[in-house]
């Protein structure tokens, strides 16, 4: 997997936060393939490590659930904010033997079970499914077009990750963007480490904010995806530092991000009151905190 490209896409293309006033909590369902073939594609069970890493980064009010599937799906557990319960469930995972009644692969049952969870245990939250599989379905209980429509109708975003060389990339590429998510391919299990780590960080950034600007938008500004009206890009902006220039003003007091809906589309505006990368934006010898609004643009 091209890790540089992967990181770039997560930083610039992932679905942005909703309007101000919407809840800043997450409901995430991991849908994990445990068919027999996973034993060879992920023999060291890195799926457990990366999933637990994701769980560890969730906030205290966030919830997550785990769905595993072969030819059938099982929920282990349903949505919970208990990290201990989630970690225990992940540690207890085992691959299908390949010789029982449930052998086979049907990703549609996994996604359907995740949708059932996110709709039946509904609350105001950002809702995501992270779907991981290593192969083609050999049967379909549910039509993927129907599942996509159901996800969209309930504002649920699906991210898909294909592991190995036998994945149905065409199907996974369709599911993700059709719901506002992204498709990623991991050529080996080792690639899952950086993939899940990036996914956890960027997804949680939707709801984190230390300085009056959503961490997501702050990263967009620093990366040059969002620019000021005059084309300025604030590439040194640090979402981990609430006062990037140390002038006593929070970054969110120096630049204002607003989201409006125009002709059915979300439009993001960035307005700079003073430069969050300069202590003295207008060079008059006074820190911006002592010289309010030196550069209203």
Residue 4 has pLDDT above 50, yes or no: no
Q: Which of the four pLDDT bands, split at 50, 70 and 90, describes residue 208?
A: low
Structure token digits, residue 161? 């990750």
pLDDT for res 9: 39
Distance CA 249, CA 235 (A): 18
* Average confidence (pLDDT) over 230-244: 79
Domain extents in the chain = 3-204, 215-290
Structure token digits, residue 40? 């060879």
For the chain, give the number of residues: 297
Residue 84 has pLDDT above 90, yes or no: yes
Structure token digits, residue 182? 């992204």
Distance CA 83, CA 62 (A): 10
Structure token digits, residue 236? 């040194």
State the helix-helix crossing angle for 144-153 and 169-178, rounded to 10 degrees.
20
139 or 152, which is more confident = 152
Fold observed for domain 3-204: Rossmann fold (3.40.50)
Q: Which of the four pLDDT bands, split at 50, 70 and 90, describes residue 230?
A: low
User: What is the DSSP annotation of the chain?
Assistant: --HHHHHHHHHHHSPPP--TTS---EEEEEEEE-STTHHHHSTT-HHHHHHHHHHHHS-TT-EEEEEEESSSEEESS-SBS-HHHHHHHHHT-----SSSTT-S--HHHHHHHHHHHHHHT--SSEEEEEEEESS--S--SS-HHHHHHHHHHTTEEEEEEEESSS--HHHHHHHHHHTT--EEEESSTTHHHHHHHHHHHHHHTTT--SSSS-HHHHHHHHTTSS--TT----TT--TT-SSTT-SSS-HHHHEEEEEEEETTEEEEEEEESS-TT-SSTT-SSS-GGGS-STT--
Residue 148 has pLDDT above 60, yes or no: yes
Average pLDDT over the chain, rounded to an integer: 79
Least confident of 129-133, 156-160, 186-190: 186-190
* Average confidence (pLDDT) over 113-136: 90
* Average confidence (pLDDT) over 121-148: 90
Q: Which of 14, 44, 91, 75 is nearest to 193 (CA)?
A: 44
β partners of residue 257:
270
Interior/surface letters 45-72, b for 16+ CB within 10 angstroms, e for the rest: bbbbebbeebbeebeeebbbbbbbbbbe
């Amino acid at each position: 997997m091209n890790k540089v490209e992967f990181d770039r896409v997560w930083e610039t293309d992932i679905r942005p936060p909703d309007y101000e006033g919407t809840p800043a909590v997450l409901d995430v369902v991991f849908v994990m393939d445990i068919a027999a073939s996973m034993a060879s594609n992920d023999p060291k069970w890195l799926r457990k490590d990366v999933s637990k890493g994701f769980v560890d980064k969730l906030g205290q009010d966030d919830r997550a659930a785990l769905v595993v599937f072969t030819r059938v799906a099982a929920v282990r557990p349903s949505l919970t904010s208990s990290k201990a319960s989630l970690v225990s469930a992940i540690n207890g995972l085992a691959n299908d033997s390949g010789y029982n009644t449930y052998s086979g692969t049907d990703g549609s049952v996994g996604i359907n079970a995740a949708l059932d969870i996110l709709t039946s245990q509904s609350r105001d939250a950002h809702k995501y499914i992270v779907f991981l599989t290593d192969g083609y379905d050999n049967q379909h209980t549910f039509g993927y077009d129907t599942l996509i429509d159901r996800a969209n109708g309930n504002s649920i975003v699906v991210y898909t990750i294909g592991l190995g060389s036998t994945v149905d990339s065409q199907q996974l590429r369709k599911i993700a963007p059709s719901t506002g998510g992204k498709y990623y391919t991991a050529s080996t299990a080792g690639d899952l480490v950086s993939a899940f780590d990036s996914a956890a960080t960027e997804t949680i950034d939707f709801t984190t904010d230390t300085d009056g600007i959503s961490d997501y938008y702050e990263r967009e500004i620093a990366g040059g995806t969002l620019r000021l009206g005059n084309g300025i890009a604030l590439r040194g902006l640090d979402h981990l530092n609430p006062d990037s220039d140390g002038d006593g003003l929070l970054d969110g007091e120096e630049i204002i991000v607003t989201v409006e809906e125009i002709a059915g589309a979300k439009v993001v505006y960035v307005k700079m009151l003073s430069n969050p990368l300069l202590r003295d934006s207008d060079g008059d010898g006074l820190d911006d905190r002592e010289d309010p609004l030196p550069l209203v643009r």
